Chain A
Amino acid sequence: MPPSRSSTLAIAALVISVATSGRTSLAAAQDLARGAAEYQLCAACHGDRGAGDESHGAPAIAGLPAWYLTAQLQKFRAGQRGYARGDDTGLQMRPMATSLHTDADVADVAAYVATLPPATPAATLPGDAVHGQALFAPCSACHGPDGGGNEALKAPRLAGQADWYLLAQLAKFRSGARGAHKDDVTGAQMRAMASTLVDEQAMRDVVAYVRTLAPTGGTK
């Protein structure tokens, strides 16, 4: 019996969908492989597993969500981060980001870094985590009570980030070395929030509290 018209169409649709999904996963695998290759440059400072290295001023980036990594790389490329005199690590990172020539390069390396298991950097700074918990309340509105981040609000995961890096970034937001570029909308939001931490001790305390939060991976 010859196949009916509808069953022929159904088979054709199935074949197309299988072929397409195969191509998609293959393309994704190729993108990750490209991202891994691009990452070799990053590894010089961030480490081969993205665990970060304080001696280079390089934060832990492993397992951060791809949307956040992409956003920050694009900010570096556009000069919205790493623009300020005195922001030595930002000025180092900016040319590295510009070595990613296309948006696809950025997406690939971000996708690869997001697949790396989050690191647990060691504590390097003293701070009063109890006091810091109280100070963290406004932060939690965007970054979440567990510091896990919130893509809808463009707030990255903080849990699992090195304390020295968080402190340095808070200081940069306060001084305008980060977040003061006219096109950096989320940076401007964060600048305002960072200014609520009145002094260095307050920043250290809130960082000490964030250190107690467990990283939850790059899903948010």
Chain B
Amino acid sequence: MLEWLIPAASTSADEIDWLFAVIFYTVGVWFVVAQGIFFGLIFKFRRRPGVRSLYVAGETKDEKRWISWPHYAVIACDVVLIAGAIAVWRDVKQVIPPPDETIRVIAQQWAWTFVHPGPDRQLDTPDDVVTVNELHVRNGTTYEFELTSQDVVHSFSIPVFRLKQDAVPGRMIKGWFRPTKTGTFDIACAEMCGLGHALMPAALHIESAEEHAAWLGEHTAVAAAAAGSRS
């Protein structure tokens, strides 16, 4: 349902959207039913000439039902929603599946630096590709990210992944995602981080295996040449 507003481009996004839809429809159905009953009762017991108003204390059993039954229903729905929320939280945040690749994300005022493993799929090797404000990932690959900040608190936000994770100076925080759709999407900072907070967008490029290999090939050559000229 959220996809009407913004694409969903990862497995986590699909799970979160499912949970969102379950909550929306559950609450929505009860909202409509409750409002219907409410306005129905108002209409049924509207003021009429010659009819005295009745004081209802809610003490009899058939009166209490109007309160107790919805309460039971709310508890039953809560159990379903909380169970669903825990399951999604576990999948999205708590258990990182075995990654195919690891990337490093470094936040600073006011830019994102991304360290991509090169064709060898290993970080800290000469073919790593470092970019600023540009993240390139392969569709259908499970990525673990290592998120750090070198100055203040930032938040690594990728709306199409429904991903938002604070980056805290002095800590390395891990997370994961598995892209499911190719395209170019937004990365933003979602934590007020100073004067340029609103001005640190980055681009997420989700590419097919071939496109990603071509991009890596192009940039690994540059990275290797730069490493060679420095040494």
Binding between chains A and B: yes
Contacts from A to B (Cβ < 8 Å): 41, 44-45, 82-85, 88, 91-92, 94-96, 98-99, 176
In the bound complex, residues from chain A placing their C-beta under 8 Å from that of B108 are 88, 91
Q: Chain A residue with minimal CB distance to B199?
A: A95
Instruction: Given A91-B108, A92-B110, A94-B111, answer yes or no on A99-B199 (Cβ-Cβ < 8 Å).
Output: yes
A96 and B113 contact, CB distance less than 8 A? no
B132 and A96 contact, CB distance less than 8 A? no
Residue from the set B109, B111, B200 with the largest chain A CB neighbour count within 10 Å: B111
Q: Chain A residue with minimal CB distance to B110?
A: A95
Asked if B168 is at the interface (CB within 8 A of a chain A CB), the reply is: no
Q: Chain B residue with minimal CB distance to A94?
A: B111
Say which size band chain B's interface belongs to.
Answer: 10 to 19
B132 and A95 contact, CB distance less than 8 A? no
In the bound complex, residues from chain B placing their C-beta under 8 Å from that of A83 are 132
**Alpha-carbon distance between A189 and B162 when the two chains are bound, in angstroms:** 45
Instruction: Given A95-B110, A95-B111, answer yes or no on A84-B132 (Cβ-Cβ < 8 Å).
Output: yes
Q: Could you tell me which residues of chain B, from 76 to 124, have a CB within 8 Å of some CB in chain A?
A: 106, 108-111, 113
Q: Chain A residue with minimal CB distance to B196?
A: A95
Chain B, interface SS category: mixed
Contacts from B to A (Cβ < 8 Å): 106, 108-111, 113, 130, 132, 150, 195-196, 199-200, 226
Q: Chain B residue with minimal CB distance to A91?
A: B111
Q: Which residue of the partner chain, among A84, A85, A92, A176, contacts B196 with CB atoms under 8 Å? A: A92
B132 and A98 contact, CB distance less than 8 A? no
B195 and A41 contact, CB distance less than 8 A? yes
A-B contact pairs, 13 of them (CB 8 A): A44-B195, A83-B132, A84-B132, A88-B108, A88-B109, A91-B110, A91-B111, A92-B196, A94-B110, A95-B111, A95-B200, A96-B196, A176-B226
**Alpha-carbon distance between A95 and B109 when the two chains are bound, in angstroms:** 9
Q: Chain A residue with minimal CB distance to B195?
A: A44
- How far, in Å, is A39 (CB) from chain B's closest CB? 14
In the bound complex, residues from chain A placing their C-beta under 8 Å from that of B109 are 88, 91-92
**Alpha-carbon distance between A88 and B200 when the two chains are bound, in angstroms:** 13
In the bound complex, residues from chain B placing their C-beta under 8 Å from that of A96 are 195-196, 199
In the bound complex, residues from chain A placing their C-beta under 8 Å from that of B195 are 41, 44-45, 96
- How far, in Å, is B196 (CB) from chain A's closest CB? 4
